[in-house]
Structure 1
Amino acid sequence: MKPSHNAKHHPLTRAYRYVFGKFQASLKDYNRVGDQVVPDHNETRTIPTYLAVFMFAFIYQIVLVYDALRLKNTIQIIGLVLYNVGILIYAAIQFDQISDAVAQLKSTDQIEPQFWSKIRPMLVALPIMMAVMTVIFAFIAWKLYDEFAWTIYKHISADLRLKRRYLTYQVYIALLKFDFFFFLAFTVQFLVVVEKTGLAERILTAAALVITFFLLFLAAFWVRRESIAGMIVVIVVYFIALAYFLFKLIRMYVAGLARQEDYKPARKSLTSFAVLTILLLLATIVVACQCTHNFNKGLKPHVSNKSVGDVQNNKQYSGEMPSLSGPAPSSRMEID
């Protein structure tokens, strides 16, 4: 079954769609209280943004699960467990932020008073459901790790050094996929929620998101082609991105009082995403350096194919034994 079809019926996605629908139905369509004009609070944007990030996180998770099973990437499956933990932390933070946003909207009579009482049980139940599912997911990941380890053994051979290089490559590819989500989630929240951001800063932030998207594909392409020059460029950009997120994180807490008020509605979530992104970038830089160090050591034929699973299936279909030299290089450029 295709991940796009499953995404529509993900129970947590449907739950957040319910909360989003309740919010839209409860939000009043006027900006006046008596004769007084009510300011357009950015809380009317923060709640939909939080919920949209959540729904995208679950849809993206389904895509990554499908991708990990297709590629038999054991590292990505382990990463998905940690990804679930990160989303669980965000769910806990989001509860307080939605509560604060609703209180602000109620103070200006921009939302129905009963809205919070209707959605609070759902917002309490969702993190509990996520915690239970994360434990189940961790058990399944442990079983899949044992299953896929044998497939990798047949694909790479018994050479322990080559197997370590291949696992390093798998870690790097998995990190690129998780980097994409956290880059996107932080940038979207910053652009939508934070008010009074200058036009130049908004343009630069949006441009950085587009550049990041293409960079992640190029990073995967260059590591598979063992391009030292390409990897040097990528690692330099990683350091620039690291400096950017450190700057944003510090600015949220040391800027002037007026600017801190602009960050306040989303400061908790932006802080959590900034910290997680910084940690991911540090890990990505270290692993990228390790991958570059492993160039020209016999790994290239094993990482140039589409997936370990595809190679194994093709060999079984043709009746041939897996070749220790690996498949012919593929010309496709994709993060796998």
Structure 2
Amino acid sequence: MYTPNSVWTWSFLLVACLQGIIALALECYVFGKFQESLQNDAEKTTESRTIPTYLSVYIFGFVYQVVLVYDALRLKNTIQVIGLCLYNVGILIYAAIQMDQIHDAVNFLVGRTMIELDFWNAVRPFLVAIPCVIALGTLLMAVVAWKLYDEFAWTIYKHISADLRLKRRYLVYQIYIALLKFDFFFFLGFTVQFIVIVVKTNDVEFYLTIAAVPVTIIILMLAAYWTRRESVFGMICIIILYFGALAYFLFKLVRMYTDVARREDYLPARRMLTAFAVITVLLLLVTIVIACLCTHNFNKGLKPHISRRKVPDPNDQKDFINEMPTLAGPAGSRMTID
């Protein structure tokens, strides 16, 4: 089990945990107040499902972030650390959009006397506080990430040695693995919101959307597996599936704005779903490009360095000395150990 061994690794983990705890506490208050304020028959409307769904995504988002923080520190993945800062910016945008969407939902419910009139005034300060907490967390994470970059760069240097071409290939690999982990959140976040909020779909579309969840998980797991095994055939299959996923999300995005007959079904969560869909499409495009680069780098000496998921810790003498024969490679290769 990995244990953070420097003040900056502990700081990064602490900031992520504290941010998540405070933001979720504020969200839970809003959710409790919302449930308490709802009147009869409100549960039948799409608008009444927005706040519980947003809270569910927040819970999953912050718990998943803590898991990714631990994973990035364990693997000493500088790209994933930087990605987590950008992930936090995404959560910040989500919090800002959430406030506007909740306001619209409350206005709808108030107009039909399905919620107490003072609900919005009671929860507005808490909804304003959430993006403020996340903005502060993002700033602190960025500062700590800058320190971690120097700390991890030295460890990676010792792990990969001074071969610049090999270091570039390892960087591409790190980017790809980090992208897969962020893809998982946005794929799943969009699909779950669509299933819960937009319930008035035909049977075929509804079941296809549900089926997308396990299919997504399997695709991403196979993508990571075949990259470590350096399977060209496997990666070609995965890239084809990426294009299929890209078509799926573009279809969902276009449908939300062109299907006039079902405009009211999408409207309560359209901005949130649009944000998730756009981010997911952009991530997919980048993932496809990096996947092609990873495949191009197969069989060029990187496999021994990525076969172990944990980068040896130079502060742990036993761990690092045991790893030296693997890192040394063929006789006569250059080793730089200070």
TM norm structure 1: 0.89
1:325 to partner: Cα distance: 3.7
1:290 to partner: Cα distance: 0.3
1:88 to partner: Cα distance: 0.8
1:177-192 → structure 2 map (5 Å cutoff): 177-192=181-196
| Aligned amino acid, residue 91 of structure 1 | A
Q: Tell me, what secondary structure is at the counterpart of 2:321?
A: coil
Contact 1:155 1:324 in 2 (8 A): no
Which residue is 1:35 aligned to? Answer: none
Contact 1:154 1:322 in 2 (8 A): no
- CA change 1:318–1:216 in 2 (3 A) is closer
Q: Separation in 2 of the partners of 1:138 and 1:8?
A: 14
1:211 to partner: Cα distance: 0.7
Which residue is 1:317 aligned to? Answer: 318
1:10 to partner: Cα distance: 1.5
Deviations 1:136-164 (CA, angstroms, capped at 9, x unpaired): 11111111011000000000000000001
Q: Tell me, what secondary structure is at the counterpart of 1:10?
A: helix
| Aligned amino acid, residue 253 of structure 1 | Y
Q: Separation in 1 of the partners of 2:50 and 2:190?
A: 13
Query: Does the alignment pair 1:265 with 2:268?
Result: yes
Which residue is 2:67 aligned to? Answer: 63
Among candidates 112, 116, 119, match of residue 112 of structure 1: 116
Q: Separation in 1 of the partners of 2:237 and 2:218?
A: 13
| Aligned amino acid, residue 171 of structure 1 | I
| Aligned amino acid, residue 279 of structure 1 | L
Contact 2:183 2:283 in 1 (8 A): yes
Contact 1:7 1:59 in 2 (8 A): no
1:1-336 → structure 2 map (5 Å cutoff): 10-28=21-39, 30-31=40-41, 40-256=44-260, 258-308=261-311, 311-312=312-313, 316-317=317-318, 320=321, 322-323=323-324, 325-326=326-327
| Aligned amino acid, residue 27 of structure 2 | Y
Q: Separation in 1 of the partners of 2:190 and 2:241?
A: 18
Q: Separation in 1 of the partners of 2:244 and 2:315?
A: 42
- CA change 1:57–1:41 in 2 (3 A) is same
| Aligned amino acid, residue 310 of structure 2 | S
Write out the 4+ residue segments of structure 1 that deviate beyond 3 Å after TM superposition: 6-9, 324-328
Contact 1:302 1:327 in 2 (8 A): no
| Aligned amino acid, residue 14 of structure 1 | A
Q: Separation in 2 of the partners of 1:278 and 1:307?
A: 30
- CA change 1:19–1:299 in 2 (3 A) is same
1:105 to partner: Cα distance: 1.1
Output the aligned Cα RMSD: 2.3
Structure 2 gaps of 5+ residues are 5-12, 330-338
1:326 to partner: Cα distance: 3.5
Contact 2:78 2:152 in 1 (8 A): yes
Q: Separation in 2 of the partners of 1:39 and 1:316?
A: 60
1:259 to partner: Cα distance: 1.2
| Aligned amino acid, residue 60 of structure 2 | F
1:253 to partner: Cα distance: 1.1
- CA change 1:327–1:85 in 2 (3 A) is farther
Contact 1:43 1:105 in 2 (8 A): yes
User: Which shifted more, 121-130 or 171-180?
Assistant: 121-130
Structure 1 gaps of 5+ residues are 32-37, 329-336
1:320 to partner: Cα distance: 2.2
| Aligned amino acid, residue 12 of structure 1 | A
Contact 2:77 2:174 in 1 (8 A): yes
1:327 to partner: Cα distance: 9.7
Q: Separation in 1 of the partners of 2:307 and 2:323?
A: 15
Q: Separation in 1 of the partners of 2:320 and 2:92?
A: 45
Contact 1:7 1:62 in 2 (8 A): no
Q: Separation in 1 of the partners of 2:114 and 2:317?
A: 63
- CA change 1:60–1:254 in 2 (3 A) is same
Q: Separation in 1 of the partners of 2:315 and 2:229?
A: 23
1:261 to partner: Cα distance: 1.5
